[in-house]
Amino acid sequence: MVEFYYHDNQDTKENFTQDHRGEPFDIKNLTSIGVIYRKVDTLDELNAIAEERNYRNRDEVKLSLDTFGGDKTAYNAKMEQFYEEHYHEDEEIRYIVEGEGYFDVRDQNEKWVRAKLFPKDLLILPAGIYHRFTLTEGAKYVHAMRLFKDEPKWEAINRSSGYESDIRTSYAQSVSS
């Protein structure tokens, strides 16, 4: 089952797949940053959520060293890309089918909240929230279903770019204290 806690901020380029467990984070506080978590046991439940939230498309992705044909350079480059702090102009919806991974999201005070996701965990991130993703050190594998309101796309706007769209600004205003 999912685990939520504050990130300890001790990560480096070499160890970001480790646990980095800090203070506990109360799952009830997710709503204050617009994040939704659900445990989804069946495909029927997932389909009902998709219909309720108007998700019309989906795809599946598998991430592991094997996904990259054993090419550690390509694998590491992709993991570093996913771990770079970014946001999207659409909701990000991920359902974990197999394996496990970490989603880190920024709270209202710019602290990282880490979600350790396992099979049957569904996480919905609002458009505009800064976040990042990595596999866990133990599993180093995830099979996730991605749901989309429109055509499947994955366009990240990295925080390091300095660009903040109207969607990012609107999100930040919606969660400001």
92 labelled binding-site residue:
yes
Distance CA(150)–CA(148), nearest Å, equals: 5
Total length of the chain? 177
Distance CA(87)–CA(79), nearest Å, equals: 16
131 labelled binding-site residue:
yes
86 labelled binding-site residue:
yes
**C-alpha neighbours within 13 Å on the C-beta side of residue 52:** 6
7 labelled binding-site residue:
no
Can you list the pairs that 158-165 forms with residues at least 24 positions away whose Cβ atoms lie under 8 Å? 158/84, 158/85, 158/86, 159/84, 159/85, 159/86, 159/87, 159/130, 160/84, 160/85, 165/89, 165/128
Residue numbering of the annotated binding site for Ni(2+) = 86, 88, 92, 131
Residue numbering of the annotated binding site for Fe(2+) = 86, 88, 92, 131
Residue numbering of the annotated binding site = 86, 88, 92, 131
